[in-house]
């Protein structure tokens, strides 16, 4: 089950979680950057894949993805838990699908 956790006292704090019978995995969360968009905007960008995907490796040799907006700011990111870059990219696709589940499909203009 996909669950969106948000903070009522801070509209920029959120986590997109996949809950299973054996636990839960964080698929994506708010950017660690100083300036973050409110959760509805960030999740909409994630859902639509709007921006530039960056895959980075940390000092512990784990990968995470970051979704950058057009201005270069980070909109959303994954935890650094992936063992290789390809698994990280697959995780991004899974997070996009989860965002569609949480928010519903993107509206198309007429």
Looking from the CA of 61 toward its CB, the CA atoms found within 13 Å total 1
The CATH number assigned to the domain holding 47 equals 2.30.29
pLDDT tens for each residue of 10-58? 888 899 999 888 888 999 998 877 778 889 999 999 999 999 999 999 9
Is residue 61 one of the residues assigned to a domain?
Answer: yes
The answer for 68, left when phi > 0, alpha when psi is -120 to 50, beta otherwise, is: beta
- 109 inside domain: no
Quick one: CA torsion of 92, 9, 104, 95, rounded to 10 degrees? 10
How far apart are the C-alpha atoms of 55 and 110, rounded to whole Å?
A: 35
**Number of domains present in the structure of the chain:** 1
Expressed as residue numbers, the domain containing 17 is 2-103
Bridge partners (DSSP) listed for residue 16: 4, 28
* pLDDT higher than 60, residue 110: no
């Amino acid at each position: 089950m996909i669950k969106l956790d948000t903070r009522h006292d801070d509209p920029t704090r959120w986590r997109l979680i996949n809950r299973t019978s054996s636990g839960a995995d964080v698929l994506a969360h708010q950017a660690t950057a100083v300036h973050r968009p409110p959760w509805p905007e960030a999740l909409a960008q994630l859902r639509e894949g709007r921006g530039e995907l960056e895959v980075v490796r940390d000092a512990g040799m784990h990968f995470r993805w970051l979704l950058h907006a057009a201005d270069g700011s980070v909109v959303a990111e994954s935890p650094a838990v992936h063992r290789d870059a390809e698994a990280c990219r697959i995780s991004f696709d899974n997070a996009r699908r989860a965002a569609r589940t949480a928010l519903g499909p993107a509206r198309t203009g007429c």
